[in-house]
Structure 1
């Protein structure tokens, strides 16, 4: 695997002054050489004429080659940006210093090319790399959770390049690599956990922080080869697949009703026990087992019923 080497480029302002001075000298040489030439259609007979031709040719060649070649060495680097220096295929280092710089004009401006599947053409890879944080919004994926239930899931990943050498030389296209590995990691994490469970285990729906941490760790391992680090990874969408969504909704509703009924029954039993205990303690009424059972039945109906209880007046006795 490649390893980033830090390089430093000289300031571009002194070289800009040298380039301008060289351009002025070339123009002066061209003008001086033109003034030394003989009049039109006159033969060149003196040494001055020959010197004028030399100055004219040298000035034109120097103007076309010198300043143009020097101008190719200028480049700028913005904050959180870097440039990889490649000289005839050899990696020389990475410049992180922001500002206006000048380096060897023969440093490559592209690091090979990568194939773009959308356009079907080879696209050159720039030697300038942004080190800023980037966000990848993943598409909705249909996968099976740990229990085999089809679910829809999507994520958002915040990432940035930390090692420019790995990003340029160890993978073909680090942007595509990040997108592909993000989808693969999300599918793996989705199949590791269940969508929902009553067993107290980590689930996709109830343990968002734990699942996000697992997704971040998975991505960090996969993207280390490309010199990319993950700042954050979160789930942005989680739902059952449409074909089972209605059935799962009914299941959740049934579980909610059962849980609510359980709470109601527990509360009713506690209230009935309290009522019987208070009646016996204060000697309000003495109840035998049959009457106690009837009171418990009536109280449970009143406390656990969905609708209001309708009182019935008994004109007789419990035994008639």
Structure 2
């Protein structure tokens, strides 16, 4: 009788299972390799564990999901293809030459048709010509010469320093002219004049608030200019109105220093100016405006809080004055009593010292115009 020992392979070590398993009463199966994992390096971004469909006994680990990053406020964008570019223009001499040729053509046609006055022919030293009359050919010559003259003289323009023209045809941008002097521009193009000089704008009273949320009325001075004429003219309906609204939006986000506040100083004023300028310049840049400074020139309390803030300010000044006077009186009384006792002029017990201090305090306060304690 032969005994055959058959070694049974655990089910966990079968060819279809990846590793050895541990079984107990609480957990059906836990993969062994999960108990001896190396610790991962800490992640800089905080993770929020989110378990999706965990099954008991499978050893499934919680899945981690990164928190969605906060989206930054979007900056208004204008058509990326819209940008200033130089327009094609000709010197003014070319327009004068073309207009002169058209005028000469009209004179020649009149002489050819025989309708030129004799005085004009004599002045131009033209030979006598009986004329062929005004026929279709003469009218066609008149039309061509007149159109040439109008096209030449009608396109003459004078460019000035600090001014530019935005040209367009049939709703399409054709370029910007920044040249100065006499030039020739296609008369079929629509011209829009733009001031590109350094400009300053003093606003009307705008609503604002200080650090405590008290309503203010602020008048600001804005120094700016048009940097990109195409975006300024075609990007918005009115770039000056857009700039005004940008300034109002900046005032709503920046705490303006209240008049006579405790932080009134050169550093605080410069900080407010820098913040207002930065915000306004960032909002106005997409439409081609360059903002150099936005500085408050007058800050007042709003009418609904002006009376209350004035009383509060007067009370604060009065309290400060009383504290200063009281400190001076106390110092004077202390100095007087100390000198009397140190030099041995008087010998005072506690009751006499208190009485002397009270009398001196009343006397000093009356001498400074303050009521006694």
TM-score for the superposition, normalised by structure 1: 0.73
Where do 5+ consecutive residues of structure 2 fail to align? 1-79, 117-129
* CA distance in structure 2 between the aligned counterparts of 1:238 and 1:205, rounded to whole angstroms: 15
Change (3 A) 1:71 1:35: closer
Say whether the 8 Å CA contact 1:30–1:55 is kept in structure 2.
Answer: no
What is the CA distance between 1:54 and its match in structure 2? 6.2
* CA distance in structure 2 between the aligned counterparts of 1:12 and 1:80, rounded to whole angstroms: 19
Partner residue in 2 for 1:149: 214
* CA distance in structure 1 between the aligned counterparts of 2:169 and 2:260, rounded to whole angstroms: 58
What is the CA distance between 1:56 and its match in structure 2? 1.6
Partner residue in 1 for 2:246: 181
Secondary structure of the corresponding residue to residue 210 of structure 1: helix
* CA distance in structure 1 between the aligned counterparts of 2:231 and 2:364, rounded to whole angstroms: 69
Secondary structure of the corresponding residue to residue 331 of structure 2: helix
Say whether the 8 Å CA contact 1:83–1:95 is kept in structure 2.
Answer: yes
Partner residue in 1 for 2:294: 233
Partner residue in 1 for 2:173: 91
TM-score for the superposition, normalised by structure 2: 0.64
Equivalent residue in structure 1 for 2:308, among 238, 247, 250: 247
- Asked if 1:136 is matched to 2:201, the reply is yes
- Asked if 1:166 is matched to 2:231, the reply is yes
Partner residue in 2 for 1:18: 98
* CA distance in structure 2 between the aligned counterparts of 1:94 and 1:172, rounded to whole angstroms: 18
User: Which runs of structure 2 are paired with 1:1-320 in the superposition (5 Å)?
Assistant: 1=80, 2-7=82-87, 9-34=89-114, 53=135, 56-109=138-191, 127-142=192-207, 145-189=210-254, 192-193=255-256, 195=258, 207-305=268-366, 307=369
- Deviation by residue 1:124-144 (Cα, 9 ceiling, x = unmatched): xxx221112334333334455
* CA distance in structure 2 between the aligned counterparts of 1:193 and 1:35, rounded to whole angstroms: 78
* CA distance in structure 1 between the aligned counterparts of 2:151 and 2:371, rounded to whole angstroms: 98
* CA distance in structure 2 between the aligned counterparts of 1:99 and 1:303, rounded to whole angstroms: 81
What is the CA distance between 1:11 and its match in structure 2? 1.9
The higher radius of gyration belongs to: 2
Q: Which has the larger helix fraction?
A: 1
* CA distance in structure 2 between the aligned counterparts of 1:162 and 1:65, rounded to whole angstroms: 37
- Deviation by residue 1:257-284 (Cα, 9 ceiling, x = unmatched): 1111111122222222322333344333
* CA distance in structure 2 between the aligned counterparts of 1:222 and 1:92, rounded to whole angstroms: 26
- Deviation by residue 1:35-77 (Cα, 9 ceiling, x = unmatched): 79xxxxxxxxxxx987984652233112331111223322221
* CA distance in structure 1 between the aligned counterparts of 2:331 and 2:160, rounded to whole angstroms: 71
What is the CA distance between 1:105 and its match in structure 2? 3.3
Partner residue in 1 for 2:64: none
RMSD: 3.4
